[in-house]
Amino acid sequence: MQRRDFIRGAVAGATALAMPHIAIAQPNKTLRFKPNNDLSAIDPAFSAAFVTRYHAHLVFDTLYGQDNNLNPHPQMVEGHVVENDGLLWRMKLRPGLKFHDGEPVRAQDAVASIKRWARVDTFGQALMAATDELSAQSDKEIVFRLKRPFPLLPNALAKSSTYVPVIMPERLAQSDHTKPITEAIGSGPYRYIAKDRVIGQLVVYEKFADYVPRPEGRSEYTSGAKVAYLDRIEWRIIPDQATAAGALRAGEIDWFENPIGDLIPMLRKDPNIQLDLIFKLGDMGVLTFNHLHAPMNNPAVRRVLAKAVSQTEMMDAIGADASTTDVGFFTPESPMASKTGVPIGAPTPDYANLKRELAAAGYNGEKIVLITVGQSTNINTQAVVLEDILKRLGMNVELVALDFANWLRRRQSRELPENGGWSMLTTFIPGQDLWDPAGHLMLRGSKQHAYAGWPDIPKLEELRNAWFSATNDEMRRDICHQMQLVAVQEVPYIPSGRWLNPTAYRKGLTGVARHTPLFYNLKKA
């Protein structure tokens, strides 16, 4: 520690300008990762961006973790005890947990963190709605007193997708919840090094020496022991795909989160590079509607459109190395998924026929505004194909290309499509997020809670609420089955296939987790 400080001081002295010091790191103890986007927010409860999620898993820890099948296991807690017919849950923190500022983790920190998280997260909101009181019985014990049974409590606290229920110091968790936290102090295996951060270029994490990995339980995904074998993690932000691929091949980076489909064959041929389908659940193609305005407020029109989309064509267009083209409304591997009624669109739809059906459904030539982000392959590819499909149906469509900021903003607009609003948009959502109704932001019917588009399908909401109260798996599956049937009828969005999008890293990197880029338990040869 001291020698590194000395070198740091000497080199810093030699630098006239304020360039952040890049520590003279040993190559096989440093990992250079290229994420898809730059880290824009360090507060996991503030931003829904994927990179913030990865950041959360590096710097913070959670009370429960998930295994590869997304089942919850105790992580920061030793275990839980359920009393009173499921109305009282007690859990104790395991020994040795410390924050990066040296303070021990106490139950009060956990309670404050959970409350902060539950403000923004849908699963958390459902949990707190069922909770009478959440408190710290002592420095080590957390107690949930519930109004009604909530058997999925550990699942909620194990959530690994947005928003992650991370545990942070009480003082940070209780700070103004309308502002993001200013320091990323967690109790995870790595520390966020704020002073080495260069926006748009570099994010740096270093091993937290005082982290105590969980002694029991199997190490899988976010559960079990999290060991930091690598001393330093660098996220290199390289926006240009071709440059990043070149850098991976040249060994300038070790891990490329998601090369686009067309680069995969080239990377596959390279003897130094390993392709790995860690996002086993893939990315689900989503074509969604603005349910507020015509013609998309007409379920009959939506049904015809759903039939016009060929999942095969969409996945071809994205250059998918591997894909699933018979996807329903839930991620195929999920126990909640079923084949009923889906896929709706045939591989080669009969457009002439569909045109007639469209007229019968009541389409009168209303203008359709399809918004896309020109520079984003994910969003734009599907948009361009969708525009073509709508044109094949003889519809009056305009494709509007925006930059990401404008796209996000316009998505929030309730105006008429021609007046700064929108009719349809396309995107990909990780399969992990469409696993069950808890996190599924697209299968909502309560207008304001969906990802976008304000769908008005009361039956979906009813079924969703029922799902939370269901007492066993079979009930839950059955409810989801019904949800899918409702979705096929009402079409809140069109599933356009699933893209199995591999990650690419240099051979010699071992321990890469499934589902999400995680940085503990990694080793470099």
Partner 1 sequence: MSATPTPIYSGPIEQGDLFPAARKSRGFLALIRRHPTIALGSALLFVILILAIFAPYLWTVDPNALSPAHRGRPPSLRNWFGTDLFGRDLYSRVLYGARVSLAIGFSVAVMSSIVGLVLGLISGFIRWTDAIIMRVMDGLMSIPPILLAIALMALMQGSIINVFVSITIAEIPRVARLVRSVVLSLREQPYIDGAIAAGTTTPMIIWRHVLPNAIAPLIVQATYVCASAMILEAILSFIGAGTPPSLPSWGTIMSDGRAVWQIKPYIILFPAAFLSLTILAVNLLGDGLRDALDPRMAKRF
Partner 2 sequence: MRINKHGLLAYIGRRLASTIPVMLIVALFVFSLLYIAPGDPAVIIAGDQATPENIEKIRATLGLERPFVVRFGEWLWAVMQGDLGTSIFTNQPVTQLIAQRVEPTLSLMVVTLLLVLTIAVPMGVLAAWKAGKWVDRVVMVVAVLGFSVPVFVVGYLLAYCFSVQLNWLPVQGYTPLSEGIWPWFRSLILPSASLGFVYMALIARITRTAMLEVLTQDYVKTARSKGLGEPKVLFVHALKNASVPIITVVGIGVALLIGGAVVTESVFVLPGIGRLTVDAIMQRDYAVIQGVVLVFSLAYVLINLGIDVLYTLVDPRIRY
Residues that bind partner 2 (CB under 8 A): 11-12, 14-15, 17-22, 40-41, 46-49, 52, 120, 162, 178-180, 182, 197-202, 236-240, 242-244, 246-247, 249-250, 252, 403-406, 408-409, 412, 427, 433, 441, 448-449, 451
Minimum Å gap between C-beta 473 and partner 2 is 27
Q: What is the DSSP string of 41-82?
A: -S-TTT---HHHHHHHHHH--BSEEE-TT--EEESSEEEEEE
Residue 236: which of partner 1, partner 2, none does it interact with, CB under 5 to 8 A by kind? partner 2
Report the residue from 316, 357, 366, 462 that binds partner 1 according to the rule CB under 8 A. 316
At 83 the three-state DSSP class reads strand
One-letter-per-residue 3-state SS of 125-140: HHHHHCEEEEEECCCC
Minimum Å gap between C-beta 361 and partner 2 is 30
**CA 455 – CA 462 distance, rounded (Å):** 14
Q: Where are the beta strands (DSSP E) in 325-474?
A: 367-373, 396-402, 424-430
Residue in 263, 307, 330, 318 with CA at minimum distance from that of residue 504? 263
Report the residue from 137, 375, 489, 510 that binds partner 1 according to the rule CB under 8 A. 375
Cβ atoms of 186 and 168 within 8 Å: the answer is: yes
Minimum Å gap between C-beta 173 and partner 2 is 16
Which residue number, 345 or 453, has a Cβ lying nearer to partner 2?
Answer: 453
Residue 388: which of partner 1, partner 2, none does it interact with, CB under 5 to 8 A by kind? partner 1
Q: Is beta strand 273-276 parallel, antiparallel or unpaired with respect to 503-506?
A: antiparallel
**CA 514 – CA 504 distance, rounded (Å):** 13
Chain position carrying tokens 């014990």: 141
Which residue number, 320 or 450, has a Cβ lying nearer to partner 2?
Answer: 450
Report the residue from 78, 139, 403, 415 that binds partner 1 according to the rule CB under 8 A. 403
Name the burial class of residue 127, with classes exposed (0-12), middle (13-18) and buried (19+) by CB atoms within 10 angstroms of its CB: buried
**CA 39 – CA 172 distance, rounded (Å):** 20
Q: Is 374 in the site for partner 1 (CB under 8 A)?
A: yes
Minimum Å gap between C-beta 59 and partner 1 is 31
Which residue number, 193 or 370, has a Cβ lying nearer to partner 1?
Answer: 370
Beta bridge partners of 428: 285
302 dihedral zone (left: phi>0; alpha: psi -120 to 50; beta): alpha
Which residue number, 167 or 264, has a Cβ lying nearer to partner 1?
Answer: 264
Which residue number, 285 or 455, has a Cβ lying nearer to partner 1?
Answer: 285
Report the residue from 11, 82, 294, 401 that binds partner 1 according to the rule CB under 8 A. 401
Residue 490: which of partner 2, partner 1, none does it interact with, CB under 5 to 8 A by kind? none
Which residue number, 146 or 185, has a Cβ lying nearer to partner 2?
Answer: 185
Q: Where are the alpha helices (DSSP H) in 396-512?
A: 404-411, 458-469, 473-490
Give residues 499-518 in contact with partner 1 (rule: CB under 8 A): none
Which residue number, 268 or 409, has a Cβ lying nearer to partner 2?
Answer: 409
Residue 198: which of partner 2, partner 1, none does it interact with, CB under 5 to 8 A by kind? partner 2
DSSP secondary structure letter of residue 446: B
Report the residue from 12, 19, 199, 242 that binds partner 1 according to the rule CB under 8 A. 242
Residue 46: which of partner 2, partner 1, none does it interact with, CB under 5 to 8 A by kind? partner 2
Residue 266: which of partner 1, partner 2, none does it interact with, CB under 5 to 8 A by kind? partner 1
Residue 20: which of partner 2, partner 1, none does it interact with, CB under 5 to 8 A by kind? partner 2
Interacting residues of 121 by C-beta distance below 8 A, sequence separation 6+: 45, 159, 162, 163, 165
User: How many residues are present in the chain?
Assistant: 525
**CA 424 – CA 445 distance, rounded (Å):** 17
**CA 453 – CA 442 distance, rounded (Å):** 9
Minimum Å gap between C-beta 274 and partner 1 is 19
Residue 425: which of partner 1, partner 2, none does it interact with, CB under 5 to 8 A by kind? none
Which residue number, 202 or 314, has a Cβ lying nearer to partner 2?
Answer: 202
Cβ atoms of 165 and 113 within 8 Å: the answer is: yes
**CA 345 – CA 308 distance, rounded (Å):** 6
Q: Is beta strand 493-500 parallel, antiparallel or unpaired with respect to 322-324?
A: antiparallel
**CA 71 – CA 69 distance, rounded (Å):** 5
Residue 466: which of partner 1, partner 2, none does it interact with, CB under 5 to 8 A by kind? none
Which residue number, 156 or 260, has a Cβ lying nearer to partner 1?
Answer: 260
Give residues 51-70 in contact with partner 1 (rule: CB under 8 A): none
Report the residue from 194, 198, 266, 346 that binds partner 1 according to the rule CB under 8 A. 266
Q: Is 388 in the site for partner 1 (CB under 8 A)?
A: yes
Residue 500: which of partner 1, partner 2, none does it interact with, CB under 5 to 8 A by kind? none
Chain position carrying tokens 């009624």: 341
Report the residue from 25, 400, 441, 488 that binds partner 1 according to the rule CB under 8 A. 400
**CA 76 – CA 354 distance, rounded (Å):** 55
**CA 61 – CA 167 distance, rounded (Å):** 6
Beta bridge partners of 93: 77
The residues binding partner 1 (CB under 8 A) are 240-242, 245-246, 260, 262-263, 265-266, 313, 316-317, 319, 372, 374-375, 377, 380-381, 384-385, 388, 399-403, 405-406
